Amino acid sequence: MDFLREIALKTADLIKRSGKTLALTGAGISTESGIPDYRSKGTGLWEKYDPMSKASLSALISDPVEFYNFNLPRWIKYANAEPNTAHRVLAKMEEKNFIRGVITQNIDGLHIKAGSRNVWEVHGHLRTCRCMGCNHKYDFSEAVRQFEDGIVPPKCKTCGGILRPDVVLFEDPMSSDYYRALEALEGCELLIVVGSSLQVYPVADMPYLARQMVIINKEPTTFDSRAAVTAHCKAGEFFEELASILKI
């Protein structure tokens, strides 16, 4: 029996024994959809740039032109990406009641595109944006349209204030989804962590709220020794194997 099938069998057994299972996903689950992650050694975005100077609230306020020129082309790619095998299998696992839902650190919306219904986007999303002046809401496409028309930063049509995406920037308070995710974790017997380095707080504290963990991540995490199952592999390969075992 090869290693991948062995860990998938162990995970399937844990899922079947669990009374309440949730998934927690990070940037690593979306790399197979063409979205680079943030913290992989040598390639992660925050290995090359200081996130506080590029993706913080103070960066947006102090230099909104640079903020948008740096972030929006990347965010447009995120918004146009398509779900991969791991996203689709998690959606099917929810449909078949193997998991209760997905807590995600990602802003790409791929879990929702894949068909997951219970999704807690703890760092926000790229479906909408809002005016920093009057708080008027817009579809994210409005910010994209203005940016592509050379209006940088995008402006509110009502008051002329700067638009900002509904994502959690560095220095922002956590989203309401974060607190709903904490409630969802009450009584969690198994947490399947996928593609997260578990380095970003406060989300990195969430595994402590589950009785057991499975960790699927290409690189080791500080929680590996606490996990019932750990695999350093591509998420898509693991979930393809898991789906065949669960017959979904």
Show the 3-state SS of 148-164: HCCCCCCECCCCCCEEE
Residue 219 CA to residue 231 CA, distance in Å, equals 9
What residues pair up with 167 in beta bridges, in sequence order?
A: 124
Query: For the packed helices 235-246 and 3-17, what is the interaxial angle rounded to 10 degrees?
Result: 60
Residue 56 CA to residue 63 CA, distance in Å, equals 11
Is 125 one of the annotated active-site residues of the chain? no
Residue 158 CA to residue 126 CA, distance in Å, equals 21
Among left, alpha and beta (phi > 0; psi -120 to 50; other), residue 124 is left
Of the residues 111, 123, 136, 232, only one is catalytic, namely: 123
Q: How many CB atoms lie within 10 A of CB 129?
A: 23
| Contacting residues for 111 by C-beta, under 8 A, at least 6 apart | 25, 83, 87, 90, 91, 102, 104, 119
- Residues with catalytic roles: 123
